[in-house]
């Protein structure tokens, strides 16, 4: 469970204030997949970073129980001079999981072949994404934070990623930022719409999507 209590966050860009969290109070329940929708710039990724603890709130607090992942698919923490295998083993030690088991899982899932033993700096962006997703999904968390991760790779890898994600959701929860309504309908059972610093929750997926689309349309007018 993750609870937001009076969370506020504002950025100032080129002299203009952008409020991404305006006194948000919300509870993300255990073992539920929550889609976070909103227009570009609404603050969805910033919200995810605050939940992950990698970005501070301006005020308020975020409480949690259980183990929360880093944003799934984030490759920024990989050391570029270490191989995919070495990075995987290092992360396994940090999180206290079996290094051989995680390495075997990632090697099989990411399908990097010999590149798994080459430095990360030699990887394409797609290869980094496959590695990052494999490492993230290879570690058991109570709640996975997901930022558009299944959008990477070819159609086959997308299907493979969604299937693995769905399997993890049978035992864990997720908070998922996405622009893909098809993914929301297939993978999520709650919709949260971030609009003008407020987070609106909907147990009815179609109602949530309709509200999101209505807010998008108003933003264009």
Distance CA 179, CA 106 (A): 26
- Number of Cβ within 10 Å of residue 147's Cβ equals 19
Tens-place pLDDT, residues 49-101: 999 998 999 999 999 999 999 888 777 779 999 999 999 999 999 999 999 99
Q: Would you write out the chain's pLDDT as a tens digit for each of its 221 residues?
A: 899 999 999 999 888 899 999 999 999 999 999 999 999 889 999 999 999 998 999 999 999 999 999 888 777 779 999 999 999 999 999 999 999 999 999 999 999 999 999 999 999 988 998 898 899 999 999 999 988 765 566 788 888 888 888 889 889 999 999 888 998 998 899 999 999 999 999 999 999 999 999 999 886 65
Using the 3D structure, point to which of 122, 139, 156 is the last residue of a domain.
139
Residue 73 belongs to a domain: no
Token readout for 163 is 């299937």
DSSP state of 113: G
Measuring CA to CA, how many Å separate 103 from each of 22, 143, 150, 181? 42, 22, 21, 33
The parent domain of residue 118 ranges over 79-139
| One domain for residues 118 and 206 | no
| One domain for residues 151 and 216 | yes
Residue 72 belongs to a domain: no
84-95 and 99-110 helices, crossing angle to 10°: 140
Using the 3D structure, point to which of 100, 116, 139 is the last residue of a domain.
139
Distance CA 172, CA 170 (A): 6
Residue 51 belongs to a domain: yes
Distance CA 124, CA 127 (A): 5
CA dihedral 218, 20, 70, 168 (to 10 degrees): -40
Question: What is the number of structural domains in the chain?
Answer: 2
Location of structure tokens 């191989």: 83
| One domain for residues 134 and 146 | no
């Amino acid at each position: 469970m993750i609870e937001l209590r009076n969370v506020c966050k504002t950025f100032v860009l080129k002299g203009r204030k952008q409020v991404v969290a305006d006194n948000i109070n919300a509870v993300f329940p255990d073992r539920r997949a929550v889609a976070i929708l909103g227009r570009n710039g609404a603050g969805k990724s910033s919200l995810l970073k605050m939940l992950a603890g990698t970005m501070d709130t301006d005020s308020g607090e975020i409480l949690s129980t259980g183990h929360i992942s880093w944003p799934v698919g984030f490759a920024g923490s990989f050391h570029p001079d270490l191989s995919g295998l070495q990075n995987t083993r290092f992360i396994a030690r940090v999180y206290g999981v079996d290094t051989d088991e995680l390495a075997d899982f990632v090697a099989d899932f990411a399908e990097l072949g010999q590149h798994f033993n080459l430095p990360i700096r030699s990887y394409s962006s797609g290869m980094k994404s496959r590695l990052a997703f494999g490492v993230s999904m290879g570690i058991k968390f109570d709640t996975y934070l997901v930022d558009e991760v299944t959008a990477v790779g070819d159609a086959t890898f997308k299907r493979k990623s969604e299937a693995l994600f769905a399997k993890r959701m049978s035992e864990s929860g997720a908070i998922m930022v996405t622009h893909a309504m098809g993914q929301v309908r297939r993978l999520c059972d709650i919709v949260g719409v971030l609009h003008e610093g407020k987070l609106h929750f909907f147990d009815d997926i179609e109602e949530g999507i309709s509200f999101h689309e209505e807010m998008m349309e108003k933003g264009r007018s």
